[in-house]
Structure 1
Amino acid sequence: MNLSKDLMAASSAPLILAILADGESYGYEIVQRVAELSGGKLHWTDGMMYPLLHRLEKQGYLAAVWRVAETGRKRKYYALTDAGKGVISEQQKQWQVVNNALNNAWRSTDNMIGTGGSNDGFQPA
């Protein structure tokens, strides 16, 4: 399944913030965590993720620091700031509203489709 770019864009910031709520991480590890959380259905590219990390950092939701990893490689680690921790709760509420609305809409659509539904005589042109 390929998710639309709009849906990917809308969900990416809340996903990053939620992942970093568990502790600091670096780019590749975040990409791997997204894949794991989605059961392998979300595949992020560097070109999508790093601009988002930089934007979240610029907004004050993330702090970043360069460190040398155990492998000897330099990595930029990201962590939530207090502002980032504060925005997670608000984003959870917003997504729950959207999720509930979609579930309700789809439930009524499923009921119509499952029973043969009616389009009230509507005929497309």
Structure 2
Amino acid sequence: MSITSDILRGHTEAIILAHLLEQDSYGYQINKDIMKKTDNRCELKEATLYSAFRRLEQAGYIRTYWGDETVGARRRYYSITEEGRRAYQSYKRDWEEAKETIDQLLK
């Protein structure tokens, strides 16, 4: 079963921040890792991913820097800030509350 974008809408930023808690990364790798973690059931569209990066950067939750690849194109890496770590915890609490409420409603 593929996970629809409707289910993920509103959680893209939290998903990205969760990934960046583990390590700095770049867009293509983040999407590849999301697909791997979900057994290819979830893939973020490029426009969705990069729009979320812009929002996160404007909010001060992530910062960017250029990699120093010697082969191929240079990559823009993303890293989470302390403010981003706090935002992630808030997103996670909101998700847990919403999940609990939906679980109760679907019983």
Q: Do they superpose with TM above 0.5?
A: yes
Deviations 1:18-77 (A, max 9, x none): 000001000000101111222211111211111110110011000000123253420000
State the SS of the aligned residue for 1:10: coil
Instruction: State the alpha-carbon separation in 2 of the partners of residues 27 and 69 from structure 1.
Output: 15
Structure 1 residues without counterparts, runs of 5 or longer: 109-125
Instruction: State the alpha-carbon separation in 1 of the partners of residues 68 and 24 from structure 2.
Output: 14
Counterpart in the other structure of 1:75 = 75
Q: How many residues of Structure 1 are paired with residues of Structure 2 in the alignment? A: 107
Q: Which has the higher contact order (CA 8 A, sep 6+)?
A: 2
The normalised TM-score by structure 1 is 0.77
Counterpart in the other structure of 2:15 = 15
Counterpart in the other structure of 2:91 = 91
Instruction: Indicate the RMSD between aligned Cα atoms, in angstroms.
Output: 1.5
Counterpart in the other structure of 1:119 = none
Q: CA deviation at 1:95?
A: 0.3
Structure 2 residues without counterparts, runs of 5 or longer: none
Q: 1:69 to 1:101 in 2, by over 3 A?
A: same
Q: 1:3 to 1:72 in 2, by over 3 A?
A: closer
Instruction: State the alpha-carbon separation in 2 of the partners of residues 72 and 2 from structure 1.
Output: 32
Instruction: State the alpha-carbon separation in 2 of the partners of residues 16 and 33 from structure 1.
Output: 10
Amino acid corresponding to residue 40 of structure 1 in structure 2: N
Mapping of residues 28-39 of structure 1, within 5 Å: 28-39=28-39
Identity within the alignment, %: 23
The normalised TM-score by structure 2 is 0.89
Instruction: State the alpha-carbon separation in 2 of the partners of residues 27 and 103 from structure 1.
Output: 32
